A = this chain, B = another copy of it.
């Protein structure tokens, strides 16, 4: 049985092979239905319908990352109590079987970190900006024209969609409840073509990564533009493709690549979930793969770190007056904050100009030290405007 507001179109597509209704409540309460597939999206109606389906003892397959990242704890708890499965392979990285890989294929591993290109729209935009040297707005318009970006692209370009997916992967990797509200989210709208070019000269590419990492103090969960070494395989993932790099303690690094969106890749993941559920009909519920990989009573309360406590490397670009002593002042500030410099690039001022760019790559340090240093650098009279800060991950 199919529910769609556009009954005519649904009838056409299903070619008379199944009943079509406009009220989805008829599906989630139907006594003959064992599995409900939710492909509506959003947190409103979709949430009600999923919870109603669960309450009626039905398994659910969903591609709804927004719903699970924000209401997953409530939904998985209800499913657990009802003894039904909520399967969501399609919710992360589309057709790539990454949920299966994390929950089953890598089950022997203690996951150390995950870094993923998990939003095709932004990866397309970044690829085009790099290839053609164009700025963000020009490429966004092209992406919209080509159908790679939606009319309202906010969720994609502001990193929200990637954060939904990273939130789900963090929970599966580290056995913590979903906590989308704790994720640091930074999109690509502020990214300058200049920085893509400088990064390139230093041997790096800029990608929008969803990163989650286990540290001795807590878990990092963040989405932001990131410099990664050009020679890394994931740096070469171009266009609207997705890729997830997973570091496990036994297996080392594994990478999963493919289409992260689109009707057919999504259907591929949905059908795989459907087959999985039917295979498990006869198995004891307690033997199933837990929704978030860990048994509910084995979940951890490891905190998600505030951004000031994360540890990473940094790309810093500052626009300075071409005067004696600027570099000394900047490096002194960094040294004061115990930030050591890994590489530096100083451009000669353009003909007839008296200002120039200094680019520095730092070694690993805590974000709060960089915040302090940037505030002091920006206060220098020889530094013009804001310091551009982009995080850098070696992904080794």
Chain A residues within 8 Å of B, Cβ to Cβ: 89, 94-97, 100-101, 104-109, 233, 236-237, 243, 248, 250-259, 264-265, 267-272, 275-276, 278-284, 287-289
Chain B nearest Cβ from A265, distance in angstroms: 5
- Report yes or no: B254 in contact with A258, Cβ–Cβ below 8 A: yes
Alpha-carbon gap, A100 to B251, bound state (A): 15
Chain A binding surface SS class = mixed
- Report yes or no: A108 in contact with B252, Cβ–Cβ below 8 A: no
- Report yes or no: A282 in contact with B283, Cβ–Cβ below 8 A: yes
Alpha-carbon gap, A280 to B288, bound state (A): 8
Among B96, B105, B250, B257, contact of A233 (Cβ-Cβ < 8 Å): B257
Nearest chain B residue, comparing its CB with the CB of A288: B279
- Report yes or no: B236 in contact with A275, Cβ–Cβ below 8 A: no
- Report yes or no: B259 in contact with A251, Cβ–Cβ below 8 A: yes
| A101-B97, A108-B272 known; A264 vs B250 contact (CB < 8 Å) | yes
| A97-B101, A256-B254 known; A108 vs B287 contact (CB < 8 Å) | no
Nearest chain B residue, comparing its CB with the CB of A267: B250
| A106-B272, A256-B256 known; A265 vs B287 contact (CB < 8 Å) | no
| A237-B233, A250-B265 known; A104 vs B109 contact (CB < 8 Å) | no
Alpha-carbon gap, A107 to B278, bound state (A): 13
Alpha-carbon gap, A256 to B233, bound state (A): 11
Alpha-carbon gap, A284 to B282, bound state (A): 6
Q: What B residues does A283 contact at CB under 8 A?
A: 279-280, 282-283, 287
- Report yes or no: A271 in contact with B107, Cβ–Cβ below 8 A: yes
- Report yes or no: A272 in contact with B97, Cβ–Cβ below 8 A: no
Among A109, A258, A282, the most chain B Cβ lie within 10 Å of the Cβ of A258
- Report yes or no: A109 in contact with B279, Cβ–Cβ below 8 A: no
Q: What are 24 residue pairs bridging A and B, where the CB atoms are less than 8 Å apart in the complex?
A: A97-B101, A97-B104, A97-B254, A100-B105, A101-B101, A101-B105, A104-B272, A104-B275, A104-B276, A107-B272, A233-B257, A236-B236, A248-B268, A250-B268, A250-B271, A251-B258, A252-B259, A252-B264, A252-B265, A253-B259, A254-B257, A256-B256, A278-B287, A280-B287
Q: What B residues does A251 contact at CB under 8 A?
A: 94-96, 258-259, 264-265, 268-269
Nearest chain B residue, comparing its CB with the CB of A285: B282
Q: What B residues does A269 contact at CB under 8 A?
A: 105, 108, 251
Among B255, B264, B288, contact of A255 (Cβ-Cβ < 8 Å): B255
- Report yes or no: B254 in contact with A96, Cβ–Cβ below 8 A: yes
Chain B nearest Cβ from A71, distance in angstroms: 26
Chain B nearest Cβ from A208, distance in angstroms: 18
- Report yes or no: A257 in contact with B259, Cβ–Cβ below 8 A: no
Q: What B residues does A265 contact at CB under 8 A?
A: 250-252
Q: What B residues does A271 contact at CB under 8 A?
A: 107-108, 250
